[in-house]
Each structure stands twice: as structure tokens, then as C-alpha cells.
A and B are shown apart, each in its own frame.
Chain A
Amino acid sequence: MADPFVKGRWIIFASLLLAMALVLIPLPASAPFELNYLRPDWIALVLIYWILAVPEKVGVPAAFCLSLITDLVVGTPFGFHGLSFVILAALAKGSYQQVRMLEIWQQSILIAVALMIVSGVQLLMMTLMLDRSSNLLQFMKPITSALFWPWVFLFLRFCRRRYL
């Protein structure tokens, strides 16, 4: 039997790379700056998808490794994304059987709630430990992320069926 941990794994890496690139791309100079508060958290969305779809391949340790790379790429202190990605991964892994049964829009709502919790955690980390204040507009991100979830889901499902 072929090793299930190797076959088709590149599509997972490729999608995560794409998500990181989407996070980093600067908006065109003509776009209003406030749009930055509405940019979805692509990496978290892709991570959640893969945990829900193939929990035997992507789990909590993988989420932790991903968080370290994310911290390096976007320049936050190590561990800043770690806590949130591990929480998201643990939540997704604990409930993937139930979540898979839901309609896509119901999943969106769940994801909005989960990302809200995680944003709260990140806000606390920033304010309590680094003495930095954050704009409350930050809490718009989970909502736009949830709005983008159906498209991310459909796109990645297509990729998974085709390549994985």
C-alpha cells in the first residue's frame, strides 16, 4: 500500500503557500487603507479546511509548525500565531465529524465564532504582554473570513478531489 502521508501532500503545502502570499501582498496604493482591516485570515481558513478534510494528515503539531513559519514570514514574535492556530486546530480536530455534516453557511458561522475567539486571544497577547494597543476594527476580520469561507472551501475541495 502506498504511503498515505506522502501522496498528494504537495497540494496542502501549495495551498498554504498561496494563503501566505495572499496575506502579504500589499494592496494597491489607490485602495483606501482601511480595507486592510477587512482582509480575511487566509492561512487560518486553509488550515481549518485541511484539518476538517484530512484530519489524519494535518493535525495540531502541523498547525504549530505552520504558525512558526507564519510568524517568520509576517514578522510577528514567535508564538503569536502559535496559540491561535493550535486552538483552531484542536477545535477543528475535535469536531470535524460534526462540522462536516453542516451546510457551508453553517460552517461559516462556526468559523466566524472560532476566529472571533482567536482574535480576542491575539488582542490579549498584544495588549497584556507587548503593551501595544489594537484597533477594534480588527474584529471585522473574522466576519470577512467567514464570508470568504464558502469560496475557500469549494476551491480546496476541488483541489483535494483532483490531486489528493
Chain B
Amino acid sequence: MSKLSNGALHAVFAPVGNLARVDAVVRRLADAIELGLLADGEQLPGESELATRLGVSTVTLREALMALRQQGLVTTRRGRGGGSFVTAPDQPRTARLGHRLADWSTEELRDLADHWAGVAGTAARLAAHRTEPEDLVPLQRSLEEFEAARDPAARGRVYGRLHVELAAAAQSARLTKEEIRIQAEIGALICLALGEDDARAAVVELHRALLRAVRDGDAELARSLAERRVQDAMERLIGLRLTVAG
């Protein structure tokens, strides 16, 4: 078992919400596997520890593990040295993600988009009031890294950081935590929507304009650009959702 208390895994193993807990756990762990946060062959924490950390009962956890086994993402071995292990499935990545996307209804995706746009928009507005040019240096660096990233998993990780850094620039710990939570929930799937070159170019252009608005202290422009950035990405994702069966 590797370094399970790191920041990203904190989000992976943070308590899930009250509703549809089995689904929530399945989504959380499947996304972590897609993102490479949980590596092939990695042992998951024991059932009771994992249940405690995710804030679910062991029964719920077992149901979720069963679903993950059915999806081929987790293997459970019995006996000495046994436990649950991550298995990198042999299906192509995009096919697996498509399968994951089918778990979401368009209504759930739209609702998440609304919530995310609220968080991102407020963060951008506050950041425009509360940042000096020097504060924006890491954000520029992340944008360059995003542009340079070639493989989808790396791109997805940096994409999340673009959002988290902007929330941190707002000087709000709560908004930052909320962005981290949202990224843990939807980050892997958003990568699907960024598969096309023109989609990525649009993200870069919009993000660059957003950073300019923040730098210039144009709070209302920053807010509307941040909202649009979320809406564009989620619209692409919902478009994809409508092309997959289920």
C-alpha cells in the first residue's frame, strides 16, 4: 500500500455524501483508478479502515467493491497477504471512461455544472479583488504545463490544478476545498471532454482570458469567464454522455 495520506488521496478517501453511497464510492474509486491516483496492483486499505475514511458502513463498502470487481477495476484475494487490489483493466481507456460516464444522468451532470460554476465564478470574482500579479505566477505556469501535457491523465491532473489554484487565489480555504472535492468527483471524466484538440485550445484561450481579467482586477468579467469555462467543459461532457448508451 503506498502513501495513502497525500493530498489528492485525501480527496479520494474523504467521506462521501449521504445519497447513493454505493454509487458514490464506486465513482470515487473508479475515477481515482482512471486518474492513476491508485496504481495498478496497489493494495487498497482494509475494509474497515476504508469504510471509516469514506464515511460509509462496511456493508456499503462491500457493495461498492463488488461493483468495482464487476467492472474489472478491483481484484480481491483471500487468505494471507490477501485484500483488495487495483487492477488496470484491459479495455481501452476511453471505452472505460465512457462506461463510467453512463453512470451519470444528464440531470446530475447539469446539476454538478451549476454547482461548480457557482464555486468557480465566485472564486474568480474574489481572486480579481485579492491578487497581485506575483500571486498569479503559479497559475500561468500551470496553464503552460497544461498546454504542454501530452497524455490524457497528465492533462487531467493539471486541469484540476488550474481550478484549485484559482480558488486558492481567492484566499478562501472553503472554496479551495470545494474545488478539490469537485475535481475528485468529475476530474477523470472531464478529461474525456478535453480529448479533442479544439476543445483544449478553447480551454487554454478561455483560461488565459480569465487570468488576464483577474490580473486587471475586472471582477465581473473574471466571474463570467470562469462560469463559461465550467459550462463549456460540462456542455461537451453532457454532449458525450448523450452519445453513450445507458
Asked if A and B are interacting partners, one says no
Interface residues of B (CB under 8 A from A): none
Interface residues, chain A, with chain B CB atoms under 8 Å away: none
